[in-house]
Amino acid sequence: MKKVKIFLVLAFVSLSIISCNKDDDNDSSSSSNFLKVGDSEYTLKAGVIEDYGSFSTGVYNFDVLLTTSKLTTIAGEVLPQDEIFSGIYFELFTANENNLEEGVYNFSTSGEANTFEYGDIIIDATIGESEPTYYEITGGSFEVLDNGNTYNLKFEGMMENGQSFSGAYRGSLTKIVDTFEGKGTTSTKTRAFSRK
């Protein structure tokens, strides 16, 4: 009987530990990809990195878009799958011609490596809306913690309306190469997400 009680106690403790670990895993994954604007928080589901090639001598332009909707490509344009979506867009400059370098990119209009000169946020836009509301980013930082198959990104700053924003994204980014700059053969565009 003593052996049965010990077995039951060990089984209960093991199940409790496994159950707690599953809860912890769910909590960390659900909050790791987010965009926070003021007091509102949005879950980021997908992203794109667009390679525009050389910007100036030794400086290369990559744009990053993160959105609350999964993405699809229709007629060469990347579009959200959800009817209503939100997202954040950054135009970044790096010294690496193949990818964004790991490190911090600060807001600046200089066009130098490790800066971003433009960004905007769109909240609750509807597909087909002729003039969605964009909020231009007027300051902040964008950090690349990992740039392999899985990107790890963090960002924060201020928008033109005086509100703060912050966020993080860990996951893959769909890579698009811009052909208008003579860099590749892909003609996909993400311009639907940016005023620029």
Render pLDDT for 77-135 as a digit per residue (tens, 0 to 9): 888 899 999 999 999 999 999 999 999 999 999 999 999 999 999 999 988 777 788 89
**Predicted structure pTM score:** 0.76
Q: Residue 79 burial by CB count (10 A; 0-12/13-18/19+): exposed, middle or buried? A: middle
CA distance 75 to 64: 20
Least confident span in 15-24, 59-68, 175-184: 15-24
